[in-house]
Structures are given as structure tokens and as C-alpha cells.
Structure 1
Amino acid sequence: MTPDDGAVRRTLKLLVLVNTVGNGMYMTAGVLYFLRVTGLSAAQVGAGLSIAGLVALSAGVPVGHLADRRGARGVYAATLVAGGLGMASFLLVHGFWQFLAVACLCGLAQNAGAAARGPIVRAYGGERPQRFRAQLRVVTNIGISAGAVLAGAVVQADTRTAYVLLIAGNAVSFLAAAAMTLAVPSPAPVPPGPAGPSWTAALRDRPFVLVTALDGMMSIQFRVVTVLFPLWAVTHTAAPRWIVGAGMLANTALVVACQVRASRGVDSPSAASAAMRRAGLAFVLACGVFAAAQGTPGWAAALLLLTGMTVHTLGELWHSAAGFELSYALAPEHATGQYLGLWGMGMGLGGAFAPALLTTLCVSWGRPGWAVVGALFLFTGLLSPAATRWAVRTRPRADAEASAGVVAGG
């Protein structure tokens, strides 16, 4: 680690913090802007954001490939500028089709930015870019939490001016982050692999696609926290409503306090697959605890919900640590952006289908639905070691040797 690399990492952390404060404001209260200011209906907003989310998944692989071949800093900065201009364009929206077009632009910029940032993290993340990626997740959670607090003031004011300032503030956060990339040296483009430059290399890597798909299935767990937990607590238990905020706060606090520590021992593909298996076990246990809260007195339901959230967050820490390790360890250096773009697509697909799946199974079916969801997590975790061993065996020799602790036992 050189002093210059340390300065770059500090800049990247500050850049992410600035951007995620804006994103946190938008994620918390942006929907209210569309309902109160643009005059769109809730159904239009929901449909538009869902369509935009699916369209955005297409950006990761090609933009990641562009970052690998043309230089990651310039591509990353361009995605941030596009995100800022797209967010500012929401201020001009007065109909559904305009909203859909701008939402697609913002989603494409967001997904593309995550892929383009991957080679930068690898270049300046030190000997363990996976560990630095865990640190960035902590910063992300801090930024989103700060943005949520600011959004609370906007919701309290509940005026057109306040909502306009919220959207404008998020646009500024993108543009400020883009300006900060000027302080980040541009990593030199990595020469293409033996097969030559191809933006479909990751898509043709079947073992990596399988590991990505499993991570995407496990990524459904993020929507358990943000979508299912609030719905279940309010509609199916006698717990006081403040338990929703308390559960969210507990989740965020544990991630901020423990994510880097949870990632320390996950330093090889074998350790990552073991962490994925532990995550599946934690999630199935949490599902059982959440389900048990139904039909109990209010105080018992609150205790069970907080316990379930704690156990679930433990699984989230292991799942995230495993994802950081596998996505970098299995991605060839010459195609980091492309492979991480595909990895993000897997997570995005899981997140896109999770709300409908979780609400149908658990909110509609009740306790049997929790059993199905828990079984899905358990199956995914148990399958991960075998899939990881296949992926490691099929890496080129140089990449396999670089992945210390190749999966021996799983």
C-alpha cells in the first residue's frame, strides 16, 4: 500500500458518501415528489420504476467492458454526470412517458456506475480490494442513513419547494461526486485476455454465471429488510409500529459496525462459499423467528421481530462478505468491470423480482410462505460451495493461483 493509494481510497470513500447522502434522500422520499409535485399516480410511479429497474440491468456488462478497455475513471465520471443530469431532468417531468424515460436514464447511469467503479476499486484497493469494498459498503450505509434523516425533514415540511430541493440535492450529489473523480488517478486499461477483447466473455463463463445466479437468489434477502419486514410487522403481528423503525435502525447499525470485521476471514473462494452457506442457515433461522411473531402478544412480537432482524443481519453480513470475495476473486483482472457488471445484474434481478415474490409468499400465505422463503435461502447457501469449486477449477491458471486458498473442501 502506497501513501498515494491511501489518499485515493479516502477520496473514493468521500465520493461515495456524498453521492449516497443524495441517494438516501431520494430513496426515502423521492416517490412523494412524483405523487405530490408531478401529479403521477401511485400505480404509474410503481410501474415506471419497475420497468426502469429492469431496463437498467442491461447497462452493467457493456459499460463495465468499456471501463476495462477505455479507462475506468472517465467512464465512471460519465455515469455520475449522466445520473446527475437525469435526476435534474425529473424537475421537468409532467407526464408518465417523460417520467419513464428519465427513470430509465437514471437507472442505467446507476447500474453502469457500479460496474465502472469496479476496476478503480481493484486498482487502488490495496492487496485486498474485497476488504476495501466492505469499507465502501459501510460508507454507503452511513450516507443513506444521513440522507434518510434529511428526507424526514422534507416529508415533515411536505411542500412543493421541499420536494424540489430534495430532487435537486440528489442531482448535485451526483455532479459533486463526478467532480471528485478528478482527484482519482485513472487506472491504466488492462490488456485484453488471450481470447482478445470481448464484451460477452463474462456471459459465456458458465461457472461464473451460476455463482452469480446463486448470489442473485440470495440477494432477495435485502428486500426482506426493506419490503417484507415492515409489511409483516404491521399487517400480521401485534407489535407496536415503532418496531419497523427500530428494526431498520438495528440493521443499519450492525452493518456499519460489523461489515468490515465480518469480511476479515472471508479471504478466499473457499471461505466465501462457506460464508454463503452460513448466510443461508442464518436466513432460514431468521425466517422462522419472523414467522413466530404472528399470533403472539405485542411485547413478544416486538422481541421476536428484533431478534429475527438481528439474526437476518448476521446472514446479510456473511452474504455481503462472500459476494465481495467471489466477485473479485473469480473475475479476471483484464475484465473486472465486465464481470462485476454481470454480478450486479444478478443482484439487480434478485431485487427486481423479490418484492412480488416475498409479498405473495409471506404476506398472502403467512407462515407457510416464510417456510418456502427460508428453504430457498438454505438451498442457495448449500449449493454455493459446489458452484464455487467449479468456478475455481475453470479459472485460467494465473487467476486460479491468484485466488489463495482455492476451494479444497467447501
Structure 2
Amino acid sequence: MSTAPPSHGRVLPRADRPAPAGPIPGPPTAPARRPGLAADPTVRSLAVLLMVNATGNGLFLTISTLWFTQGLGYSAPRVGLALTLAGLCGILAAFPAGRAADRHGAKRVLAALHLFQAVAMAGFAAAHSYAAFVVLACAVTAGSRANAAVRGALYADSLPAATRTRALSLLRALNNVGIGAGAALGTVVVAVDRPGAYQGAIAANAATFLLALIPLRAIPTRHGPALAPTREHHRPASALRDGPYLAVTALNAVVNMLYVVLEVALPLWLVNHTGAPHSLVGPLLVLNTALVVALQVRAARHTTDLPAAARSFRLGALLTALACLTAATATQRNPTTATLILLTATLLLTLGEVTSQAGSWTLGYALAPDHAQGAYQGVFQTGISITQALGPIAVTTLVLPHGMIGWGVLAAVFATTALALPPVARRAEQHRGPHST
């Protein structure tokens, strides 16, 4: 799961997903290797870091809408404007953060970001000036996108390429568990419904950024910022001039629209255009979260090289296209039929999510040079940030008002992306030469 519409509690883009990962030389040869991965101290430290932050994120994303509108007293349009501006700030944050990770070391930059995010998040507890609220929203969102890029560099530096994709699958599953736990705590806060409870929850989320510094210190890295001593290795614009990699980034950004479909388009379609009960929105998101936890590791098991990653990405995009066509048929149906159709669409979207993400991790890392993983992950995250900022507007203005035709066009976009990715990835692989990870 990714971002969600304000009506469902998640109002700020978040960096709760592991960044793309590198290739795996070969599939696991024996079932005993999987417990070994979970027991690896580096993976354990990363898991603690992510779950601490994810619990805080789940807590905040559950209570934030009510706090912004009822606690701070801002109207929904003013909150929406602030979050739109924040999304635009997020687009600008990932690439420079990635470059900083290449120059100064991912652990050092990530620690600084956690301190920055803790202060910015704590400010939401008393943002009674609208100007301050906008500044804080921009700071929190920019910090989130920068965090994702720098964590991408940290994964490259701390996880061996041979196990990276499987490790990130495990981390992503655990991350969803943390978000679910935080959301459960958030429901308690909402039930209490007192200003002090909301402010305490915000403070608790801010504290998770500080607590996460403890496992961060324990994460070993293979090298520091001095990995690349040559001027070529420090060339700042190289990632922005890598046309084939930018093409893969753009296709990945398009497929990341599946999260907007799941958490914006599908709920709005259910409520406004189908006969399914409105209470189904929550269970659909819970179903997605549970299936990601159950299936993500398995989906990444056979993503062993770039061709396999491209196939996995293509399958995920095609499943997403099929999910769009399925959701479109839920209109003008009786409640039972509409419910079954939307459950099927959610299942297809989730299968598309876990398979496309497994391919995306491998592509994002394997096609980037080792000396500039931070900058390249910054570029990759910038594409995702654009989707998060502009995707909700796109689906609410270009898809939903046009009903089945709009869904059909969206499905065609996903299908076209699926077919375009393998040849684009092959070109990027040829372009990378001998300098890849």
C-alpha cells in the first residue's frame, strides 16, 4: 500500500516502501536459506528501523485528517492545497538527497534526515498558523521522499546483490505489518477523540524517527562516501543524462499509478458509481495489506536477473490493466455482484503490485552504476514522487468522470507500459556497460 485519499486518513506521501533493489544471480537452492536471511544481523537491523517508522507512519496517517480538519480547524480545500504544494516539494527532494548520500555516506545523511523529520512532524501538534502548516507539510513530504532515496542508497551499500531483492521483499512485508499495527493504535486515538490524544499520537510518531536511529547505527556498510574518488564518479548530473535509465524510471512511475488506483480511484468509484456498500472500502485496503504481507517474498523469489525482472514487471503491469477493466464492470450492478467484482479487482491489483515491485527493485539497482546508487535512486524516487503528487488529480479528472471509457484508457496505459518495459530495459542494460552493480 502507498498513499491514500484524505477521506481514508493517509494525507501525506510516505516513504514506507523499500527502494528498488539489485539483481539476484540465482534462485534459492534450498528452503533453509530463507531462515538464514531473516537471521542476518543487517536484515534484522533494517527490519527494526523500518517497523519502528512504519508503526509511527500508520498511526499518523490514521489520525492526520481528523487532526488537520477538526483539531487545527482547517477546511478540507485548504488542507488539500497544502498537501498539493507538499507533493510538489517532494518531487524536488529525492535527487539531491541521493547525491548527498553518494558524497557523504547514506547512514550519515539518513540520520540527519531522521532528525529533520522528527522536528517537522512534531510541529504538526501545534500548527495553528496556516502558513506554518503549509511549511510543515512541505517539510514532512520532502523529508519522506528524500528518506526513500537515501534508504535506497543504504540498501545498495549494506545488502549483498545476491540476496538484496529477497531481503527487500521481507522488509516490505514487515513494513506493512508495522503500518497495520500503527493504524490499529490510530483507531484507538480516533475513538478517544480528544486534542491531547491526537497531539500525543503526533509526538509518538515524531519519536519513532529518533528511535529508528538506534538500529540505524548497527547497520554495517561496505564502504563510506569515499568509494568513488574520481571526478567521473562524482559527476552530479550523470543520472539525469542517462536516457535509458530515465526511460525505465518513467515506465516505473506509470506503473506506480496502481497505488493511486487502489487507494484513490477504487474507493471513489465504489462510493459514487457502484451499488457496493460504502463500508467495503476499509476491508479492500485491509485485504491488500494482508496479501502483500503474504505474497511479496514469494513474488520476488524468481526475480533472479534483469530479464526475469522485466518479465515480472510486465506481468504486474498487465495484471493492473486487467484490474482496471474489472473494476469498470462494477457499475450498474446489484450490491452483491458489485462487491464480488471489486474484491476481484483488488486481488488483481495486489498481484500486480507484488509482481511489478519485485521487478522494479531489480531494475532500479541493477541498471545503476555502483558508485552513484544514491543519485540514481534519487532519480527513481523522483519518478514515484511525480506519480504521488499528480496521480490523484489524473484519476479524479481524467478517469472517473468518464466511467468505463476512462477505466479502459487507463488499462491501455498500463498495458502499453507493460509491453514497452522489456525492450527499454534491454537497451538500458546495454547502455550501462561494465559499470553496473
> Which category describes the TM-score, using the shorter chain as reference length?
over 0.9
SS at match of 1:73: helix
SS at match of 1:394: helix
- Aligned equivalents of 1:262, 1:316: Cα separation in 2: 10
Q: Deviations over 1:137-188 (max 9, x none)?
A: 1122111111111111112222111111121111011111123322223542
Q: Deviations over 1:365-394 (max 9, x none)?
A: 111111011011011111101110110010
Aligned to 1:91: 125
Is 1:37 aligned to 2:74, yes or no? Answer: no
Is 1:185 aligned to 2:198, yes or no? Answer: no
Is 1:262 aligned to 2:299, yes or no? Answer: yes
Farther off after superposition, 269-278 or 291-300 = 269-278
Shift of 1:263: 0.7
2:150 corresponds to which of 103, 107, 116: 116
CA contact (8 A) 1:288 1:370 kept: yes
- Aligned equivalents of 2:152, 2:250: Cα separation in 1: 19
Aligned to 2:175: 140
Give TM-score, length-normalised by structure 1: 0.93
Shift of 1:234: 1.3
Aligned to 1:408: none
Is 1:128 aligned to 2:132, yes or no? Answer: no
Q: 1:125 to 1:196 in 2, by over 3 A?
A: closer
Aligned to 2:309: 272
Q: Deviations over 1:178-237 (max 9, x none)?
A: 233222235422215672302211111111011001100111111111111111111111
- Aligned equivalents of 1:78, 1:196: Cα separation in 2: 24
Aligned to 2:250: 213
Shift of 1:18: 0.5
Which protein is richer in helix relative to its size?
Answer: 1
Aligned to 1:72: 106
Correspondences of 1:239-250 after superposition (within 5 Å): 239-250=276-287
CA contact (8 A) 2:58 2:182 kept: yes
Aligned to 2:270: 233
Aligned to 2:25: none
Q: Which runs of 5+ in 2 are unaligned?
A: 1-32
CA contact (8 A) 2:38 2:44 kept: no
Correspondences of 1:321-360 after superposition (within 5 Å): 321-360=358-397
Aligned to 1:170: 205
Is 1:161 aligned to 2:193, yes or no? Answer: no
Q: Deviations over 1:229-270 (max 9, x none)?
A: 111111111112232122111111110011111011112221
Aligned to 2:403: 366
- Aligned equivalents of 1:3, 1:274: Cα separation in 2: 25
Q: Alpha carbon RMSD of aligned pairs, Å?
A: 1.8
Farther off after superposition, 130-139 or 1-10 = 1-10
Q: 1:4 to 1:251 in 2, by over 3 A?
A: closer
- Aligned equivalents of 1:4, 1:148: Cα separation in 2: 25
- Aligned equivalents of 1:14, 1:273: Cα separation in 2: 30
Give TM-score, length-normalised by structure 2: 0.88
1:309 corresponds to which of 346, 353, 358: 346
Q: 1:3 to 1:29 in 2, by over 3 A?
A: closer
CA contact (8 A) 2:400 2:407 kept: no
Q: Aligned letter for 1:272?
A: A
Q: Aligned letter for 1:142?
A: V
Q: Which runs of 4+ in 1 moved over 6 A?
A: 1-5
Aligned to 1:405: none
Shift of 1:119: 2.5
- Aligned equivalents of 1:85, 1:37: Cα separation in 2: 19
- Aligned equivalents of 1:66, 1:74: Cα separation in 2: 10
1:55 corresponds to which of 77, 82, 89: 89
Q: Which runs of 5+ in 1 are unaligned?
A: 403-410
- Aligned equivalents of 2:174, 2:146: Cα separation in 1: 20
